[in-house]
Amino acid sequence: MATQDITIPDIGDFDSVEVIEVLISEGDEVAVDDSLITLESDKATMEIPAPSAGKIESVTVKVGDKVAEGDVIGQMTADDSAPSTEASASASDDAPQSAASSSKPAEEAAETRASAPASQASEPPATPPTTSVDQAAQVARKPVNAQSMGAKSHASPSVRAFARKLGVDLGQVTGTGPKGRVQQTDVEGFIKSAMQGQGAGATGAGIPSVPEVDFSQFGETTTEELGRIKKISGKFLQTSWLNVPHVTQFDETDITDMDAFRKDMKPQAEKAGVKLTPLVFVMKAVVKALQDFPNFNASLSPDGQSIIKKHYYHIGVAVDTPNGLVVPVVRDVDQKGIFELSEELMTLSAKARDGKLSPKDMSGGCFSISSLGGIGGTQFTPIVNAPEVAIMGLSKAKMQPVWNGSEFEPRLMMPFSVSYDHRAIDGAEGVRFTTTVGQYLSDLRQLIL
């Protein structure tokens, strides 16, 4: 155990940056990359991470101080057995190679549901207040628009993450910090006030609460707390389900030729150090279809009166991890080849399972894909990952007899589904989209036209 100074790392072209939040105190135990303080310049707000795991011995800065690269902000006793930031970075560089030999492909680790990206690195360790069933129902009656949350508020990234986790619109919270900054205590106070104002017998518009039942009267029970990611994603799933009028279009496509091509390319993929999976072909087909149907590559404006079409193609891929479901985002899929996408998928999947995804890794998606192909099933209804307007669900492909006009022949058929926001997409357009995706997957030559 060695005592070391905690210094400000390279923060770019900033000579003097104000400390707006101190997230630690003497005696705290921290892990690698835990946020220590928050800085704010005229251009950006940033959090300074712990360089290694250990115990905080002293903190030498306070809110309002000015710091620059190399300044000492405290001391800590480092845990020699824990990896440092540098060691973690080195391990991250080796992730693609190790993932190629030992990790399952992303689609084999995916789950039915697709949740909104759950921030891991920027969330504080605070536990959200427990709500009763009636209080949860009241929150459901006033869903928060994911696009407008905190749009006009003044708060640090950790406070924003804390508010997102609890479904609080920072625009409704009065800040008591310097210059009206919203602090974590302000969010907690807002929640407390809102819950105290909720009547247990509230009636009117909204969804009726689920009745409380004492299940132990029927037999033995065990209660286990949900994992942190499930708690966070559950709130977003409920918000999306309540706010988005879902329609799901079911279809299937012949991927016999695609799978044969994938297997033919296996030696070249192994030489490149990647595992070639069907998911990367699906991603390319989806992007081509998004270019044909731009309403699917869009989001609705906060007031629901306009559609915002995106001219970039970032695809979210749902990954099932030991801690819950997360959705890392592969950026610029239209500009990348099959091998490059395979390598990036392996890297993101490994980071997801190791709990090392950053908020940036899980933001900016245009369209999501949730795959059960490596598990089983025929069809399912994925939940739209709002503020996106559509999501695809992939099921297990299997050989089926298909009539070719003169006889039945075995073909590898893959069932899939697309859920979409009916406010942005009409039913006829939904069918055309799924049909087009199916055509691209059944004949890869169309992807290059």
Q: CATH no. for residue 270?
A: 3.30.559.10
Name the pTM for this structure.
Answer: 0.57
Percent of the chain topping pLDDT 90: 47
Evaluate whether residue 329 is within a structural domain.
yes
Domain termination site, one of 49, 78, 107: 78
Residue 137 sits at φ, ψ, to 5 deg, of -65, -35
CB count, 10 Å around CB of 103?
20
Q: Is 254 helix (H, G, I), strand (E, B) or coil?
A: strand
Of 145, 141, 154, 324, residue with least CA distance to 230: 324
> Mean of the per-residue pLDDT values for the chain?
81
Give the tens place of pLDDT for each residue, 37-82.
988 776 567 788 888 899 999 999 998 899 988 899 999 998 766 5
CB count, 10 Å around CB of 379?
14
Evaluate whether residue 192 is within a structural domain.
no
Count of domains for the chain: 2
Q: Running DSSP on this structure, what letter comes out for residue 155?
A: B
**Do residues 279 and 349 lie in contact, with contact meaning Cβ atoms separated by under 8 Å?**
no
**Do residues 44 and 167 lie in contact, with contact meaning Cβ atoms separated by under 8 Å?**
no
Residues designated as active site: 422
Name the token pair of 35: 């946020």
Please report the pLDDT score of residue 190 as a whole number: 83
Evaluate whether residue 308 is within a structural domain.
yes
Top-confidence residue, 293 or 35: 293
**Do residues 329 and 364 lie in contact, with contact meaning Cβ atoms separated by under 8 Å?**
yes
By CB atoms closer than 10 A (0-12, 13-18, 19+), residue 198 is middle
Q: Which of the given ranges, 162-171, 213-222, 224-233, 440-449, has the highest pLDDT on average?
A: 213-222
Q: What is the mean pLDDT of residues 221-248?
A: 89
Tell me: pLDDT of 143 over 60: no
Top-confidence residue, 89 or 359: 359
Domain termination site, one of 78, 102, 127: 78
Evaluate whether residue 385 is within a structural domain.
yes
Domain span including residue 308:
230-446
Domain termination site, one of 78, 97, 118: 78
Give the tens place of pLDDT for each residue, 107-140.
443 343 344 444 333 344 444 444 443 443 344 3
Evaluate whether residue 377 is within a structural domain.
yes
Evaluate whether residue 350 is within a structural domain.
yes
Give the tens place of pLDDT for each residue, 377-397.
899 999 999 999 999 999 999
Strand order across the 2-7 sheet: 2-7, 72-78, 54-59, 29-30
Beta-carbon contacts of residue 210 (< 8 Å; ≥ 6 apart) = 133
Least confident interval from 12-26, 238-252, 423-437: 12-26
Tell me: pLDDT of 97 over 60: no
Please report the pLDDT score of residue 44 as a whole number: 63
Evaluate whether residue 239 is within a structural domain.
yes
CATH of the domain at 61: 2.40.50.100
Top-confidence residue, 367 or 184: 367
Top-confidence residue, 176 or 348: 348
Give residue 421's pLDDT band: very low, low, confident or very high (50, 70, 90): very high
Evaluate whether residue 154 is within a structural domain.
no
